[in-house]
Amino acid sequence: MGLFSKLTGKDRAESWKLLSEEIGDQFIDRGMLKGGPKVVATYKNWEIEMDMYSETHNNRPAGHDNHSHSTTTHYTRIVASFVKKNDYNLTIYRESGITKAMKIFGGQDI
């Protein structure tokens, strides 16, 4: 039994499935080798995906060249993909003299 199961009494897939049922959206179990479970929700023009991923980092303490320690960090990821329905374009510029001039000639500053 993993730490997550010990803390919650449920495994990840079961927890994500309960979330999807509670919010009324789609649960997808991709299997652990393909990324694990995720929930896909739709809100207006947004498709929102929620899942977990992990990164493993190899750490070598100073003065201990022969020994490496790895740590794994677990993240809950939320990705919101906007579905473009028209010819809306957004360009981001670092503010400079040119962008100030663009504002004078009708460029919008948000």
Q: What is the mean pLDDT of residues 8-15?
A: 73
- Whether 49 has a pLDDT exceeding 90, the answer reads yes
Specify the pLDDT at position 21: 92
| Cross-strand bridge partners of residue 43 | 46
Specify the pLDDT at position 83: 66
**Measured at the alpha carbon of residue 68, what is the angle toward residues 66 and 73, in degrees to the nearest 5?**
175
- Whether 4 has a pLDDT exceeding 60, the answer reads no
Looking at 20-24, 74-78, 80-84, which range is the least confident one? Answer: 80-84
Q: Tell me the two tokens of residue 13.
A: 């897939």
Sorting pLDDT into bands at 50, 70 and 90, what band is 95?
confident
Specify the pLDDT at position 67: 64
Length of the chain: 110
Specify the pLDDT at position 39: 93
In the chain, the largest separation of any two C-alpha atoms, in whole Å, equals 63
Q: Which residue has the higher pLDDT, 51 or 45?
A: 51
Specify the pLDDT at position 3: 53
* Closest by Cα among 33, 105, 38 to 76: 38
Q: How far apart are CA 3 and CA 72, in angstroms?
A: 13
Which residues neighbour 82 within 8 Å (Cβ) at sequence distance 6 or greater? 45, 46
